[in-house]
């Protein structure tokens, strides 16, 4: 089974995870991703272009939230 990451999302497919009080939702769009971050106070949206310099940061954020089996490894 292939682990779902932001890099293998199809267009208009999303991937979400929660870390503490924040919920991150990555939506694959043409040219990159739309990242939505939600908490009790509000919502922010950011477009992340698909460029190599962002790939390492996005991968690091994703690894902090889940392990290879998709289990949550961040303690709240």
pLDDT band for position 4 (cuts 50, 70, 90): confident
Question: Is the residue at 75 inside a domain?
Answer: no
Domain count, the chain: 1
User: pTM for the full model?
Assistant: 0.63
Q: Is the pLDDT of residue 2 over 90?
A: no
pLDDT-derived band at 76 (thresholds 50, 70, 90) equals very low
Integer CA distances (angstroms), 5 to 8, 17, 34, 67, in order: 6, 11, 14, 11
Is 76 part of a structural domain of the chain? no
Does 71 map to a domain? no
User: 70 in a domain, yes or no?
Assistant: no
Number of residues that this document lists for the chain: 76
CB atoms within 10 A of CB 26: 23
Residues in Cβ contact with 7 at an 8 Å cutoff, skipping those fewer than 6 apart: 55, 59
Domain presence at residue 22: yes
Over residues 13-69, the pLDDT tens digits come to: 999 989 899 999 999 998 889 999 999 999 999 998 887 656 666 666 666 655 544
pLDDT confidence of residue 16: 94
- The answer to whether position 28 is within a domain reads yes
């Amino acid at each position: 089974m292939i682990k779902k990451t932001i890099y293998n999302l199809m267009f208009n497919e999303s991937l979400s995870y929660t870390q503490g009080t924040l919920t991150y939702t990555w939506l694959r769009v043409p040219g990159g991703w739309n990242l939505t971050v939600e908490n009790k106070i509000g919502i922010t949206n950011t477009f992340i272009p698909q460029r190599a310099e962002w790939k390492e940061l996005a991968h690091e954020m994703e690894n902090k939230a889940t392990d290879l089996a998709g289990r949550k490894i961040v303690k709240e």
